[in-house]
Amino acid sequence: MSDNTVTPAAETPNAKPSRRWPAIVVGLCLVAGVAAGMGWLMKKSTAPAPQLAAEKLGMSRPDGLLETRSLSQLPKDLLAVPFLKETLTEDFVFYYEAHADRLGLIGSLRRIIYEHDLKLQDTLIEQLFDQPADVALWRGADGRLKEFLLVMDRGGLAKVLEPLAKVALDDSQLSKVADVKVGTDDVALYQLTYNASRALVFGSHGDKLVVLSNPTRLYDPDSGVTLEAGGVSTKAIAALLNGEKLFPEAFGLPPRAPEVKQRLSVNASVLAMGYQRFIPNFAGLRFDMDDKGWHSFLAMDELENQPDFDFKPVWQAMPMGASACVALPLAAEQQTPLLVKLGAEERAAQALTEHMGGAAGLCWYADSRLYTPLLVASLKDEDSASLDGDLGKLFGSMVGAYEGKVDEHAFPVVEKQEGQSHQWQRQVSSSFGPYAAKAAENPDAISGKAFMRVSLARHGSTLLFSLDDKLVDKALGTLDKRFPPMADVVPKDLLMPVYFGPESMAQLMQQETLDSLPQDMEPVFYNAAQTYLIPKLRKLGGYGKYALTLPEGSEPDGHWQWLPLEWKAL
């Protein structure tokens, strides 16, 4: 197994709490205070990305891409990763084999075959899904990858499917919706309705079968309709039916090598959760599977005045014991208009963006919360005390919320200085805060059941920020050498952008899951989590710590440069 073979995980399940985060505190503080207030603002790539052939034909850039030798083997291939086999088990495979949409589609086709006396085998669906395929994926309105466009090599099934077209005008679930020109041939596109309200569009030509999951995404470019996210034109469908490979180009990928059984690529727009504009270096992630196992890759985009990839200052400041961490290079430029729009004073915003440089990192801890990570960023100057006045103004103008019970509409900023550190802190009411309202100096002023102490600190040339003041205090102790740093456990001479501590992560995920499912309000889901999820998290906690490292001297050169990620056991 190669060094960059994925041993702990190829993907991470997303926690989906049943409650909403506090809109004012987390929205304002995390987005404005962390992203803008800390200067996590970078330049765009040196040159605009070239327009893709797919875009010229009227197909929006996919958010994800799966290229597979056999679609039906994908769930089982994922279980080849030891960690996923332990945590997902066979239930993962059975879930997709028994999914309602899959069963509904199979049932509809079998009814059509039976009622119209078509000479098609009962194993048609299984044969179809056992063929090579490319699947482009787009996010739906909820942000999840759900819309898809499938291109499949039908092989010997080409003529088997032809009888379906003959019954299209005589069946309640099957109808013709459009014609496309493929070379000199006119090819019909059909819509199949199943499970009452679900539908898909498909067409076939030669050895190609194209399936679009949402018929409303299909449009005729000659009709004047404009391209939308996830939209696919009839011209793009025709090109795919003609054998053109439109998907890999969108991810900067060469043709899939014969030895690669599965290749899964995900755009950074999915993984960055709306913060992509602040991290333009990061383009995407990719996972390949061959006979040696799974391998992972990181895609990077080149930036103008590309900064050095030096994350050592981040790991020197981060306290030991993190659940997960990510570090990114900074290429800050003046973003005064954006910061001002978010509430910053113009002079303070300009001063901050002029002093930002180096790298920034984000870590989550089991003794904190999922929504209160610790941010560490670097300043250009060794002695940045001259910036403190502007930092205080920036913090005061961007962090805080209307409390409703205090005359100032926000609690005052508490400022303190000790040695090399200068800290600003503001109390913010929030039902999700770590402190109960009764613990406040003036409990009656808290407009809720709990509150946070949002903190910003400068220690020499290091900036620290978190919604959890205890993490900032611990980081200050780390910089003062009173607490061990992450640098003591991560590889010394390797470029590490990602750290993963399964035991600590399992504790954090268990805490968040059970906290979002109060036993007295959600007894069914709480018991289900206790029965099924918690044992899986305990297995996750049994794995050792891992560092994801890049090759020495890695630096992006152009768009979508894929760099191998190596998993190092610590």
Give residue-wise pLDDT tens across range 292-343: 988 999 888 877 766 667 889 999 999 999 999 988 876 566 456 666 676 6
**What is the pLDDT at residue 10?**
36
Shared domain for 466 and 332, answered yes or no, is yes
Question: Residue 466: is its pLDDT beyond 60?
Answer: yes
Q: Which residue has the higher pLDDT, 523 or 285?
A: 285
Contact status, residue 159 vs residue 139, Cβ threshold 8 Å:
no
140 occurs within a structural domain? yes
35 occurs within a structural domain? yes
- Identify the DSSP state of 18: S
235 occurs within a structural domain? yes
**What is the pLDDT at residue 43?**
36
Three-state DSSP at 255 gives: coil
Mean pLDDT value across residues 191-210 = 80
Taking the C-alpha atoms of 331, 332, 334 and 340 in order, what is their torsion angle to the nearest 10 degrees?
140
Q: Which of 90-99, 159-168, 440-449 has the highest mean pLDDT?
A: 440-449
**What is the pLDDT at residue 197?**
72
68: exposed, middle or buried (C-beta count within 10 Å: 0-12, 13-18, 19+)?
Answer: buried
Shared domain for 229 and 163, answered yes or no, is yes
218 occurs within a structural domain? yes
Specify the range with the lowest mean pLDDT, choosing from 230-234, 272-276, 430-434: 272-276
Shared domain for 113 and 161, answered yes or no, is yes
**What is the pLDDT at residue 339?**
67
Number of domains the chain contains: 3
CB neighbours (10 Å) of residue 293? 17
DSSP characters over 437-456:
GGGSSSGGG-SSSEEEEEEE
Question: Residue 187: is its pLDDT beyond 50?
Answer: yes
Can you tell me the distance from the alpha carbon of 173 to that of 334, in angstroms, rounded to the nearest whole number?
57
* Domain that residue 255 falls in: 53-261
Shared domain for 214 and 70, answered yes or no, is yes
Of 314, 229, 324, 331, the residue nearest 280 (C-alpha): 331
Boundary (domain end) residue, out of 240, 261, 282? 261
Shared domain for 340 and 402, answered yes or no, is yes
State the Rg of the chain over Cα: 27
